[in-house]
Structure 1
């Protein structure tokens, strides 16, 4: 099956980045944080999502007399 050329390029860039960082996850995360601080205009932030309200049951407890 032929993969999407855009996905192929994304995977290739990811692999090049990981290789350049020695596959060290800590180094990769630090580098991404630094890039995010240097170029905030390039970051994409998903819209905030609020959880649906949870209906809570009222519990009635019998107290000992």
Structure 2
């Protein structure tokens, strides 16, 4: 039977918790509405990305009800 020391088990648990926290932090970075880009919601994705980048964001996240969200 395979035995794992309590130190190793504690290290694994700590690593798992830290990975969960890191993932939650990445997932919580939300998109921001960029009003000037609302007019490009009906255009291709490349144009949406370009508008978001022109306003200081990394790219386009979504367009819902004509409202552009950039990240």
Pairwise TM-score range, normalised by the shorter structure:
0.3 to 0.5
TM-score (normalizing by structure 1): 0.33
TM-score under structure 2 length normalisation: 0.30
Structure of higher RCO (CA pairs closer than 8 Å, 6+ residues apart): 2
